[in-house]
Chains A and B, each alone.
Chain A
Amino acid sequence: NAGVTQTPKFQVLKTGQSMTLQCAQDMNHNSMYWYRQDPGMGLRLIYYSASEGTTDKGEVPNGYNVSRLNKREFSLRLESAAPSQTSVYFCASFERKNTEAFFGQGTRLTVV
């Protein structure tokens, strides 16, 4: 039982490049969230998916797109990376509303 798995763990991009961050959970959870964490900062919500087939914007969605591919997988795409998107990205899943969040190990992204 791996919990929440994120790939890749580290990535360096050049400005303007695109990439997709992958997240998969094996706990049959309905809700999945993407957060970014800047150095010394808290977690800011980018996008979330309350259930399979639905996605909604969070606090900082600009520059990102998401896909809830199925119940297990929720991907985050950067179409044209910018240095301001340098951050640590965390995926989290919840069984249902008002239950604990399980986080992946994070993806450390640097855009140069």
Chain B
Amino acid sequence: GQQVMQIPQYQHVQEGEDFTTYCNSSTTLSNIQWYKQRPGGHPVFLIQLVKSGEVKKQKRLTFQFGEAKKNSSLHITATQTTDVGTYFCAGTNGQNFVFGPGTRLSVLP
């Protein structure tokens, strides 16, 4: 079945440093979504990418969808303590909606 992997599993950064998490799928995706889950909270939708090679920005966050539509990345510039949480990618090949295992980000002030 479809598998979605993410690296790294954990990332500790100093406030102000950049952060990147990578998402890889075993199959071609029709789209990819990114979610953020604060500690003790529930996943909240951030963005969806649909087109091959697509790049979208939300303030300090930059999202990319690979040319082959099998990988994606989320980059945060100059992290802040409010960025703490787990970032999940999720993809669908038209059947199930599958989440990656997430990257847990901690930001040291």
Chain A contact residues, CB within 8 Å of chain B: 33, 35, 40-45, 48, 58-59, 90, 92, 94, 97-106
Instruction: Report the bound CA distance from A102 to B96 in whole Å.
Output: 16
Residue B66 at the chain A interface, CB threshold 8 Å: no
Contact at A45–B97, with CB atoms within 8 Å?
A: yes
Residue B98 at the chain A interface, CB threshold 8 Å: yes
Which residue in B33, B42, B96 is a CB contact (below 8 Å) of A103? Answer: B42
Query: Distance in Å from the Cβ of A32 to the closest Cβ of chain B?
Result: 11
Query: Distance in Å from the Cβ of B29 to the closest Cβ of chain A?
Result: 10
Contact at B96–A97, with CB atoms within 8 Å?
A: no
Residues of B within 8 A of A44 (CB): 99
Which residue in A35, A48, A98, A100 is a CB contact (below 8 Å) of B45? Answer: A100
Number of interface residues of B (CB under 8 A): 24
Chain B contact residues, CB within 8 Å of chain A: 1, 6, 30-31, 33, 35, 42-45, 48, 50, 88, 90, 92, 94, 96-102, 104
Q: Which residue of B lies closest to A41 (CB)?
A: B101
Chain B contact residues: helix, strand, loop or mixed: strand
Contact at A35–B30, with CB atoms within 8 Å?
A: no
Contact at B42–A104, with CB atoms within 8 Å?
A: yes
Would you give 8 A-B contacts (Cβ < 8 Å), ordered by A?
A33-B97, A40-B104, A45-B97, A45-B99, A94-B97, A101-B33, A103-B44, A104-B42
Contact at B42–A105, with CB atoms within 8 Å?
A: yes
Residues of A within 8 A of B44 (CB): 103
Query: Distance in Å from the Cβ of B9 to the closest Cβ of chain A?
Result: 9
Query: Distance in Å from the Cβ of B52 to the closest Cβ of chain A?
Result: 15
